[in-house]
Amino acid sequence: MFGRKLKILSFSVLLLCFSSKLFALEEYVSEIYKQIDTCFSAKDDSKLNTILSRNVNDRYYYLMENYTQKKIRRLIVNNEYDFAMAATLVVIENNLDNEEAVEMYSMISDAYEIQKKHEAELEHQRQLELARIQMEKEKQRGSVEKEYVAASQTSTGAVYVSGKETNLTSTNWKLKIGMVDLLHLYEKESEISTIHYGVCLDFNYKYTMETKNVLGLDLFAGAQFLAIADEEKLVPLLADAEAAVKYAFAKLSKNMFIRVGFNAIITGKSELAIETDGVLNNFYSPFVGIKFEDIPLGNMRLDFAADWLAGHLFVKDVKAAAGAALNIAIPFAELEKVKLNLNVGLRDRFFLKNEGMENRASLILALGVENVVR
């Protein structure tokens, strides 16, 4: 009985000693593991080499080595090949007989090469896409520079604003061909009221300077050669021509022009038409006026001008003379370089005489063409 108790006591003492060593081993190895974890977190292969080389002769080194290789495998799974290769080299340098580490290094190296080729291909594709985007931007910039203008420069480049809105250093021309110029001639004293048919031509030009002020030119010529009236009141030819220079101050309005020019009104009379004696003879006059141009009305545009004809100062039978013109442009087509529109206009010349008055009012239907401002 005593012998049995002695065996039990001896076994208990041995078990206690083994457990103490086991717990001491776990605590010791766990501390090394924590140090290895720190190396992998910081990706410090130099410190990892210091830890392994310091413990390379430890009887439990194989546990540290296995733990290190386990951490390396985790890096491979996460495609972190750079430090995985560095850590594997540390393992091999401290244990050249570790065939598993050598195979692991070879596998990582192959995978790393594949990854680098893949990344190089992705970078090549990215560069191609960037080049394509840059070419597209250059094409768009060329288009922008045609349609827009650089209003200011910043540290990042030019700020562009609509060229159509600012009209910086641009030209614009319009040509209107009046297929119908129907004039009503009215002379109050002689009680003349006749209708005349003719054609006309109207040309407008504008140049916008860098100051945004606008300098322009207006030319007009029209003639009525077909009269619809009794022979006794027949005026065989009426003609109207003018040339004017115009200027708009941007600070006031880019659409309001001051005009200065010269107007010639030709009147053909028939010796047989005695009742036309009261109609004004040829009238030549400088003039000054104001014009509103390109006023938007929906998709249509309105032009309106009013002029004072100074020539009445040199004609004794005329106390005052004035002119006015109105035009509405209705666009119907836009090509690459020109726009086409239909124009409906009114044109009037008024003379206040010593006795009575005379008025010449025209209704004009014209086809128009103008350049497209880019």
76-126: per-residue pLDDT in tens? Answer: 888 888 888 898 988 888 888 888 888 888 888 887 788 788 888 889 899
Based on the fold, state whether residues 102 and 231 are members of the same structural domain: no
Cα–Cα distance for residue pair 329/301, rounded to 1 Å? 5
Q: Is 128 contained in some domain?
A: no
- Asked if residue 261 and residue 188 are part of one domain, the reply reads yes
State the DSSP H helix or E strand holding residue 92, giving kind and residue range, or none if neither: helix 81-94
Q: Are residues 39 and 104 in the same domain?
A: yes
| DSSP letter, residue 79 | T
Q: Within its chain, how far is the Cα of 200 from the centroid? A: 39
- Quickly state the pLDDT bin for 335 (edges 50, 70, 90): confident
- Domain identity same for 31 and 180: no
With a cut of 60, say whether residue 21 has pLDDT above it. no
Span of 43-47, 139-143, 180-184, 197-201 with lowest mean pLDDT = 139-143
Same domain, 90 and 186: no
Q: For residues 103 and 230, state if they share a domain.
A: no
Task: Report how far residue 232's alpha carbon sits from residue 274's, in angstroms, rounded to the nearest whole number.
Answer: 7
Least confident of 52-66, 240-254, 348-362: 52-66
Task: Report pLDDT for 120.
Answer: 87
Q: What global pTM score does this model have?
A: 0.56
Of 97, 119, 141, the residue that ends a domain is: 119
pLDDT value of residue 157: 52
278 and 348 inside one domain: yes
Identify the CATH number of the domain in which residue 295 sits. Answer: 2.40.128.100
In a domain, 190, yes or no: yes
Long-range contacts of 128-134 (CB under 8 A, 24+ apart): none
Residues 214 and 283 in one domain: yes
- When mean pLDDT is compared over 23-27, 118-122, 273-277, the highest value belongs to 118-122
Banded pLDDT at 147 (limits 50, 70, 90): low
Out of 131-135, 177-181, 249-253, give the one with best mean pLDDT. 177-181
Do 182 and 318 share a domain, yes or no?
A: yes
Flag whether 39 is in a domain: yes
Question: What residues make up the domain containing 115?
Answer: 2-119
Checking if the pLDDT of 341 tops 60, the result is yes
Within 13 Å of residue 333, how many CA atoms lie on the same side as its CB? 9
> What's the pLDDT at 232?
62
Q: Is residue 219 part of a domain?
A: yes
Answer positive or negative: Cα dihedral of 77, 78, 82, 86. Answer: negative
Structural domain includes residue 126: no
Read off the pLDDT band of 241 (50, 70, 90).
very high
pLDDT at 9 over 80: no
Domain for residue 129, yes or no?
no
Statement to judge: residues 189 and 305 lie in one domain: yes
Q: Give residue-wise pLDDT tens across range 71-82.
A: 888 988 888 888
- Which of 54, 85, 119 delimits the end of a domain? 119
Whether the pLDDT of residue 154 is over 80: the answer is no
d(CA 360, CA 192): 11
**In this structure, is residue 86 part of a structural domain?**
yes
Pairing assessment for the beta strands 192-208 and 148-154 based on DSSP bridges: unpaired
In a domain, residue 255? The reply is yes
Q: Helix, strand or coil for residue 368? A: strand
191 and 74 in a common domain:
no
HEC letters along 242-283: EEEEEEECCCCCCCEEEEEEEEEEEEECCCCCHHHCCCCCCE
70 lies in the same domain as 192: no
**Number of folded domains that form the chain:** 2
In sequence order, the 6+-apart residues with CB closer than 8 A to the CB of 363 are 180, 181, 182, 345, 346
